[in-house]
Amino acid sequence: MPWLLRYGIGTRITTICGELLRQIEYKALWNSKHFVQVDRFFPSTQLCSECGYKNDELSLADREWTCPGCRTQHFRDWNAAKNVRPERLRIVAEGHPETGNACGLRVSLAEACVAG
Ligand SMILES: [Zn+2]
């Protein structure tokens, strides 16, 4: 959408998204929750949420696809949501072992506040 950039709307949208993420992080910290952001290049739509097969042939126009590995039919956004959740928990688990964090506090994955 080059017209967005031509009129500066793209820049404003980026600024608004950045501010929204900053507010979510602020509120998470305020409520003693963890803020986790999944890497923007994590292939959430390309990974099969059932078997882990990565479909490199998937284009932006493909809203549904069938996994060649396990024959599961995926709806793009639902599949991405299924893949993002375990990735968020993995990030939290890496940063906070169950035996306690760097401050000696006990951390539970269920307490994680996530965005991404
Ligand atoms: Zn599969």
CA distance 69 to 27: 41
Task: Calculate what percentage of the chain has a pLDDT beyond 90.
Answer: 53
pTM of the model: 0.63
Task: Using the mean position of ligand 1's atoms as its centre, give its distance from the Cα of residue 73 in Å.
Answer: 9
Query: What total of structural domains would you count in the chain?
Result: 2
CB 67 within 8 A of CB 48: yes
Q: How many C-beta neighbours within 10 Å does residue 101 have?
A: 13
Considering the domain architecture, whether residues 43 and 87 belong to the same structural domain is answered as yes
**CA of 53 relative to ligand 1 center, distance in Å:** 5
Selection from 51, 28, 54 nearest residue 41 by Cα: 54
Question: 14 and 49, same structural domain?
Answer: no
Strand 34-37 versus strand 112-115 pairing type: parallel
pLDDT digits (tens, 9 = 90+) for 79-102: 999 999 999 989 888 875 444 455
Helical residues (DSSP H) of 1-116, grouped into ranges = 2-6, 9-30, 76-95
79 and 51 in a common domain? yes
Same domain, 64 and 95: yes
User: Cα–Cα distance between 51 and 68 in angstroms, integer?
Assistant: 10
Name the more confident of 12 and 76.
Answer: 76
Parent domain of 93: 33-115
Per-residue model confidence (pLDDT) at position 45: 95
Q: Are residues 55 and 12 in the same domain?
A: no
Give pLDDT tens digits for 43-64: 999 999 999 999 999 999 999 9
* Whether residue 74 is found in the same domain as residue 22: no
Taking the centre of ligand 1 as the mean of its atom positions, its distance from the CA of residue 80, in whole angstroms, is: 13
What pLDDT is attached to residue 108? 52
Judge if 39 and 93 occupy the same domain.
yes
- Residues 41 and 93 both lie in one domain: yes
Taking only Cα atoms into account, the Rg of the chain, rounded to an integer number of angstroms, comes to 18
Please tell me the distance between residue 55's alpha carbon and the centre of ligand 1 in angstroms: 9
| Whether residues 52 and 105 fall in one domain | yes
What is the pLDDT, as a whole number, of residue 10? 76
